[in-house]
């Protein structure tokens, strides 16, 4: 008994030190990194033979020419393939699929905006009788065509392995070779398609391997800002339930009984309920804070309404955020060396999440902002320069030789000679995003402009009420111009304690209006709206035509 007591006490001490001591935390993290480097395969080689699909309406060349719009219209054509693993020399004995001559899998395109790129990403589905590759039936091969460095996704998920309160997905680098027998004439040899990242599919097999409930609820966010969406998100028992409409907002990956989800959304959108009451009832607070903090430090700007999963065990009221798709993280939008003009000023820190009902309400409590700040500071003991450098050092000898030669170098979005410079610059990204986070706390939150209403030769302008994360008093400045650049202003007025303004109707023509919110220290913020004529971006601006 005494021995058991001593062992238990030591375990409690170690766990306590992990969470409360940055030094112990760093030591344990370094040990995990060392183990990862010893266990990880540097590069795996996949060989895909596109077989003669006699009943298919498409060739492999056809699907590689499809863009996002065409995919949405026609669906995702699947082609039969022979899938094999091997070495750089080709398929080999003792590897998956060796000696196969008949189709053992299907291949299709995957991704959304990446379908508009020349180089595509693929999903491979192994046939039921083909067996599993390393326990997986679905193999997601991400090309990351817009990510010059090709490591952002893997870097993120390798970090998730080191961070408590949030699960990770297994990732590996893959060099893909394709032999297309649907060509005319057909390929005789395998063609190098370059580097891909294999990422685990978040399905029931993943839930089991991550020790989560495979019978639970799992949704993939597609265009989801935690509104109630009453015309689209319905119970399956509702006579108006339409699964296709439902999945425009949330893709159903688990149970299709949606009552638990709808109850959570009702509470999130009920302004009469305290947001902290809602969080404590429906969410795991530590998981939520960790997910927010990691996204902010990684600079993943594409997680406000997509690129995450919501998971809930069957017999639990709690919802958990699961990460997905981080090729837009790690200062992706700055990869050309300067901030892009299409990036509005609110795309940083907590400002980036102001359009989402849940996050907006959560940040309105200064204590919650303080908790998030503490979480960010605690994660900096893991997400730091030393660990990022170690991870990048594992990747560089694998990735750099492939990326800097065709086919990958042909479609690189940046001059390939800048690869090393931008690759090692990733080491500084979390610190830069920590600074952006603190900068974002100084500004009022962004908001939405409403639709102007013409009444009796007057125009009523409305906009969404907003707030300052630090509790500072705010005021609004309304401006009207005949130019979207506001180089000249024909009317402006400061507005206090209300979110609307009526002005006399101007002469017929096209006008542009905006509202700038300021705190008493002079920190300013604009609206989420943008006016985007061809080739230009005017953020915080809305156009209107006076008849």
Angle at 288 between CA 287 and CA 292, to 5 degrees: 115
Instruction: Enumerate the β-bridge partners of residue 136.
Output: 133
Give the tokens for residue 74. Answer: 């026609």
d(CA 382, CA 370): 20
Q: Which of 386, 368, 367 is nearest to 431 (CA)?
A: 386
CATH number at residue 532: 2.60.40.10
Per-residue pLDDT of 9-40, as tens digits, reads: 444 444 444 444 545 455 445 555 655 544 44
pLDDT band at 1 (very low <50, low <70, confident <90, very high): very low
The residue-averaged pLDDT of 387-391 equals 97
Q: Does residue 411 lie in a domain region? A: no
d(CA 106, CA 415): 35
Per-residue pLDDT of 171-220, as tens digits, reads: 999 999 999 998 889 999 999 999 999 999 999 999 999 999 999 999 99
Q: Tell me: cis bond preceding 194? Omega within 30 of 0 counts.
A: no
pLDDT at position 246, please?
98
Q: Is the domain of 465 the same as that of 500? A: yes
Angstrom CA distances, 189 to 60, 84, 366, 477, stand at 16, 14, 62, 66
Per-residue pLDDT of 511-546, as tens digits, reads: 999 999 999 999 999 999 999 998 889 999 999 999
Q: Is the domain of 74 the same as that of 181? A: yes
Q: What is the residue whose two structure tokens read 């400061």?
A: 494
Cβ atoms of residues 282 and 317 within 8 Å: yes
Among 330, 354, 379, residue at a domain's last position: 379
Per-residue pLDDT of 261-271, as tens digits, reads: 999 999 999 99
Q: Does residue 136 lie in a domain region? A: yes
Q: Is the domain of 219 the same as that of 315? A: yes
pLDDT band at 341 (very low <50, low <70, confident <90, very high): low
Range of the domain at 31: 2-37
Phi, psi of 13 (to 5 degrees): -65, -45
Burial of 510 by CB count in 10 Å (0-12 exposed, 13-18 middle, 19+ buried)?
Answer: exposed
Other Cβ atoms less than 10 A from the Cβ of 78: the count is 17
Q: Is the domain of 186 the same as that of 236? A: no
Q: Is the domain of 375 the same as that of 241? A: yes
Among 379, 399, 414, residue at a domain's last position: 379
pLDDT at position 534, please?
85
Q: Does residue 441 lie in a domain region? A: no
Q: Is the domain of 77 the same as that of 134? A: yes
Among 339, 363, 379, residue at a domain's last position: 379
d(CA 479, CA 476): 10
Provide the total of helices (H) and of strands (E) in the chain, helices listed first.
Answer: 15, 22
Q: What is the residue whose two structure tokens read 């090729």?
A: 327
Q: Does residue 88 lie in a domain region? A: yes
d(CA 302, CA 300): 6
Cβ atoms of residues 527 and 512 within 8 Å: no
Per-residue pLDDT of 435-471, as tens digits, reads: 999 999 999 999 999 999 998 899 999 999 999 999 9
Q: Is the domain of 125 the same as that of 191? A: yes
Q: Does residue 405 lie in a domain region? A: no
pLDDT at position 414, please?
77
Q: Supply the mean pLDDT for the chain.
A: 90
Q: Is the domain of 223 the same as that of 364? A: yes
Domain count of the fold of the chain:
4
State how far Cα 382 lies from the chain centre: 21
Q: Is the domain of 189 the same as that of 326? A: no
Per-residue pLDDT of 66-121, as tens digits, reads: 887 877 777 788 999 999 999 999 999 999 999 999 999 999 999 888 888 899 99
pLDDT at position 340, please?
57
The pTM is what? 0.89
Q: Does residue 155 lie in a domain region? A: no
Q: Is the domain of 49 the same as that of 29? A: no
Give the tokens for residue 251. Answer: 């893709």
Q: Is the domain of 184 the same as that of 244? A: no
In the chain, the percentage of residues whose pLDDT exceeds 90 is 79
pLDDT band at 55 (very low <50, low <70, confident <90, very high): low
Q: Is the domain of 312 the same as that of 364? A: yes
Q: Does residue 536 lie in a domain region? A: yes
Q: What is the CA radius of gyration of the chain?
A: 26
Per-residue pLDDT of 350-364, as tens digits, reads: 999 999 999 999 999
pLDDT band at 7 (very low <50, low <70, confident <90, very high): very low
pLDDT at position 29, please?
55
Q: Does residue 440 lie in a domain region? A: no
């Amino acid at each position: 008994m005494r021995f058991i007591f001593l062992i238990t006490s030591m375990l409690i001490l170690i766990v306590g030190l992990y969470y409360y001591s940055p030094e112990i935390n760093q030591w344990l993290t370094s040990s995990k990194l060392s183990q990862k480097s010893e266990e990880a395969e540097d590069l795996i080689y996949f060989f895909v033979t596109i077989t003669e699909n006699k009943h298919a309406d498409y060739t492999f060349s056809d699907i590689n020419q499809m863009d996002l719009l065409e995919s949405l219209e026609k669906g995702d054509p699947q082609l039969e393939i022979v899938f094999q693993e091997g070495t750089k020399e080709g398929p080999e004995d003792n590897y998956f699929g060796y000696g196969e001559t008949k189709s053992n899998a299907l291949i299709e395109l995957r991704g959304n905006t990446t379908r508009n790129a020349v180089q595509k990403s693929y999903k491979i589905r192994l046939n039921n009788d083909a067996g599993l590759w390393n326990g997986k039936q679905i193999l997601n091969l991400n090309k990351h065509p817009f990510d010059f460095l090709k490591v952002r996704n893997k870097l993120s998920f390798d970090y998730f392995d080191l961070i408590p309160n949030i699960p990770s997905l297994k990732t590996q680098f893959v060099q893909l070779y394709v032999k297309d027998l649907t060509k005319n004439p057909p390929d005789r040899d395998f063609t190098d398609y370059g580097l891909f990242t294999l990422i685990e599919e978040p399905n029931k097999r993943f839930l089991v391997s991550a020790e989560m409930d495979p019978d639970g609820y799992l949704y993939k966010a597609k265009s989801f800002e935690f509104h109630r969406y009453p015309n689209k998100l319905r119970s399956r028992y509702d006579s108006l339930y339409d699964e296709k409409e439902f999945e425009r907002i949330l893709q159903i990956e688990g149970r299709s009984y949606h009552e638990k989800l709808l109850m959570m959304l009702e509470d999130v959108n009920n302004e009469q309920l305290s947001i902290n009451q809602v969080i404590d009832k429906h969410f795991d607070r530590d998981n939520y804070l960790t997910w927010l903090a990691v996204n902010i430090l990684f600079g993943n700007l594409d997680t406000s309404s997509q690129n995450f999963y919501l998971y809930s065990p069957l017999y639990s009221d709690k919802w958990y955020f699961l990460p997905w798709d981080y090729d837009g993280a790690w200062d992706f939008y700055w990869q050309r060396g300067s901030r892009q003009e299409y990036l509005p000023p609110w795309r940083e820190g907590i400002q980036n999440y102001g359009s989402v009902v849940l996050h907006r309400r959560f940040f309105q409590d200064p204590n919650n902002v303080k908790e998030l700040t503490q979480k960010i500071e605690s994660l900096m003991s893991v997400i730091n320069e030393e660990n990022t450098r170690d991870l990048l050092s594992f990747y560089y000898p694998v990735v750099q030789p492939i990326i800097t030669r065709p086919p990958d170098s042909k479609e690189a979005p940046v001059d390939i000679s800048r690869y090393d410079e931008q690759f090692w610059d990733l080491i500084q990204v979390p610190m830069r995003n920590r600074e952006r986070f603190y900068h974002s706390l100084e500004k009022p939150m962004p908001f939405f402009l409403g639709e102007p209403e013409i009444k009796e030769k007057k125009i009523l302008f409305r906009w969404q009420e907003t707030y300052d994360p630090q509790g500072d008093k705010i005021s609004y400045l309304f401006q009207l111009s005949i130019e979207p650049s506001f180089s000249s202003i024909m009317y402006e007025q400061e507005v206090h304690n209300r979110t609307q303004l009526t002005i006399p109707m101007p002469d017929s023509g096209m006008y542009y209006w905006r509202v700038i919110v300021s705190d008493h220290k002079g920190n300013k913020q604009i609206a989420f709206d943008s006016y985007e004529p061809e080739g230009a971006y005017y953020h915080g601006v809305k156009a209107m035509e006076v008849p």
